[in-house]
């Protein structure tokens, strides 16, 4: 479990995160959403121990990530949005660097590379952006870590590869794992991320499961425009509208519409989900 308490971080005099408090529980794939510049990558960097909090604390199984204890390092992996193009065959990279993760499986890496239709014998510095991204995704999943942090993992992937990513993530992550994925491509991950965290500038607007979101908000998919919508958007065949759920009726959550609603009504959403 990851416990974040009153977390703050600044770049010099620029405050990026302030009083962030939340708990990340095992067996969940969290979606971390937010506008550019709100601190999503910074938060991931703090969680994996690359940056030290300016205030507050982060504890992963009772350990401080920035202490870089080997027992914790072997149980976590951070997949950056920037992937190094090294002069090595993919399989050689996996064998050499997989040694740093106790539960790494080369057989799993090769199986994933086959699923992603990427040649493990190819030199990584000759790969396309998409091939390189898929190679690092395969490596991250093959590490079998309990804590997996991913920053924009579907950037650079084509449509078939995005489908392969969803299947691989659902199949190859541990049942006791905590997965946190930062993304702008919510449609790429709409069927696998739950709970949803929406980060605002220096604040958390929402941290809730899809069930909790459905209980608080109603997502209406129809051709009829209705009054009182918090957010509405034209879609093929009609429109999607988001309302306060005053009747308890269930609906399918649209994460993209949820994010736009939260962006438009920040204080309202924060108050609704803090109760």
The CATH number of residue 106's host domain is 3.40.50.300
pLDDT of residue 203: 82
Whole domain around residue 237: which residue ranges? 209-272
Q: Are residues 73 and 102 in the same domain?
A: yes
- Are 150 and 179 a contacting pair, CB within 8 Å? yes
Domain boundary pick from 206, 240, 257: 206
> Mean pLDDT by 10-residue block, N- to C-terminus, for the chain (275 residues)?
95 91 95 91 96 96 96 96 93 97 97 97 96 97 98 93 94 94 88 93 89 96 88 89 94 94 93 83
pLDDT of residue 202: 74
pLDDT of residue 133: 96
Q: Are residues 129 and 179 in the same domain?
A: yes
pLDDT of residue 87: 97
pLDDT of residue 172: 94
pLDDT of residue 166: 94
pLDDT of residue 274: 81
What is the number of structural domains in the chain? 2
Q: Are residues 187 and 224 in the same domain?
A: no
pLDDT of residue 88: 96
């Amino acid at each position: 479990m990851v416990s974040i308490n009153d977390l703050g971080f600044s770049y010099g005099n620029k405050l990026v995160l302030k009083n962030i408090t939340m708990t990340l529980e095992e067996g969940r794939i969290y979606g971390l959403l937010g506008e550019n510049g709100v601190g999503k990558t910074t938060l991931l960097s703090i969680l994996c121990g690359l940056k030290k909090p300016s205030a507050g604390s982060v504890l992963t199984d009772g350990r401080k990530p920035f202490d870089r204890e080997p027992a914790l390092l072997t149980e976590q992996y951070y997949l950056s949005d920037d992937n190094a193009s090294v002069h090595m065959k993919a399989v050689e990279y996996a064998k050499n660097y997989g040694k740093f993760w106790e539960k790494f499986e080369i057989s799993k890496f090769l199986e994933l590379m086959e699923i992603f239709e990427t040649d493990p014998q190819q030199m990584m510095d000759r790969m396309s952006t998409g091939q390189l991204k898929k190679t690092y995704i395969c490596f991250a999943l093959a590490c079998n870590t309990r804590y997996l942090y991913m920053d924009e993992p579907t950037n650079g992937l084509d449509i078939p590869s995005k489908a392969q990513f969803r299947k691989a993530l659902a199949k190859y992550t541990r049942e006791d794992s905590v997965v946190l994925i930062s993304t702008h491509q919510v449609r790429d991950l709409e069927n696998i991320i739950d709970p949803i965290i929406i980060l605002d500038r220096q604040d958390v607007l929402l941290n809730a499961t899809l069930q909790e979101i459905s209980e608080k908000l109603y997502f209406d998919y129809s051709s009829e425009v209705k009054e009182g919508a918090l957010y509405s958007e034209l879609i093929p065949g009609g429109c999607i509208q988001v309302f306060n759920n005053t009747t308890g009726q269930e609906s399918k959550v649209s994460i993209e519409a949820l994010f736009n609603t939260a962006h438009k009504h920040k204080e309202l959403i924060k108050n609704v989900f803090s109760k």
